[in-house]
Structure 1
Amino acid sequence: MKPTDSEMEILQILWEKGESSVRSVHEELNKKDAGYTTTLKLMQIMLDKGMVSRDTSAKIHLYKALLSKEQTQHKFLEKIINTVYNGSTTRLVMQALGNKRASKEEIELIKEYLNNL
C-alpha cells in the first residue's frame, strides 16, 4: 500500500509525535493551510485503508500509524529505483551524492556501511 503525498504528511507527523488526535495532527498540518475537515477526512480514509488505527475509548479519538516508517521508506525507495533508475542502485547513489554535498560524517558512515557489505 502506497500512501499519497497528503497521507505521507500525516504519517510523518504520527511517526514523530506518536499517537495523536485529529486536532493535534491538524495543528501541525495547519502550518501548511490545511482545513480541519480535510485533515479529518484524510485520516478517516487512512483508517479505512488500514494505514492508521483509531482508539475511540475516550472522548477524543487518538490515531496511530500502522505503517512503519522503515517499511514505507523501503517501498518508496524500491519504486524509485525500479521506475526512475531502471533498477540500478548505483545510479541512484551517484545521483544522490552528486545532487547534495554529503558531510564528512555522512561520507564516513557510507564508507563504513559499504565496507560491512
Structure 2
Amino acid sequence: MALDKSVVKPTEAELSLLNILWQMGPPTVKQIHEVVSATHKTGYTTVLKILQIMHEKSLVIRDETNRAHVYAAANSETHTQSSLIKDLISKAFGGSTSKLVMRAIDDSTSAQEIDDIRQLLNSLEKET
C-alpha cells in the first residue's frame, strides 16, 4: 500500500533531521551526522537508517548519482509545519485555531512577540 505523503507525519527524530536539511540544503549522510553528533550521541548508521526510513515514507528525496548519497527534504519547512499544526489543532484543540493561539500566548510571551503578533493580525485584517 502506497503512503500518502500529505498524511505522513514525521517522528521527533525525523523532524530533527528535517530541520537540519532545511537549514543546510541537500547534504550527505556524513554531513548530517556531523551536525547531529555535535549535540547528540548518535551513530552514523542510526542517522543513515532514519534517512532511509524517511525516504520510504517520502519525507526526503535522495540523489544517488554520486557515491555519497545526498538527501533533501521532500516538502518545504512551511508545508510540513502547516501540516503538523493542522493535525495538532484537530487533535488537541477540537479544530479551534483560536484555542491554540490563546494557549500559545501566555505569560511567557514577550512584549516584542506580542507586538509581532499584533502586526501580523493587522496585516491579515487589511487583506480581507
More helix by proportion, 1 or 2?
1
1:16-67 deviation per Cα after TM superposition (whole angstroms, max 9, x unaligned) = 0000000111111112111111111111111111111111222221111112
Among residues 61, 72, 79, which one is paired with 1:71 in the alignment? 79
Number of equivalenced pairs: 116
Structure 1: distance between partners of 2:81 and 2:45: 28
Q: Show the counterpart of 2:66.
A: 58
Structure 1: distance between partners of 2:98 and 2:56: 38
Q: Which amino acid aligns with 1:46?
A: M
The normalised TM-score by structure 1 is 0.90
Extract unaligned runs of 5+ from structure 2.
1-7
Structure 2: distance between partners of 1:85 and 1:48: 31
Extract unaligned runs of 5+ from structure 1.
none
Between 78-87 and 17-26, report the one with greater CA deviation: 78-87
The 3 A distance-change label for structure 1 pair 99 and 43 is farther
The 3 A distance-change label for structure 1 pair 81 and 17 is same
Cα displacement (A) at 1:102: 2.4
Cα displacement (A) at 1:99: 5.2
The CA RMSD measured in Å over matched residues stands at: 1.4
Residue 21 of structure 1 pairs with residue 28 of structure 2: yes
Structure 2: distance between partners of 1:99 and 1:13: 30
Identical residues among aligned pairs (%): 38
Question: What does 1:1-117 align with in structure 2 at a 5 Å threshold?
Answer: 1-30=8-37, 31-98=39-106, 100-104=108-112, 106-115=113-122, 116-117=124-125
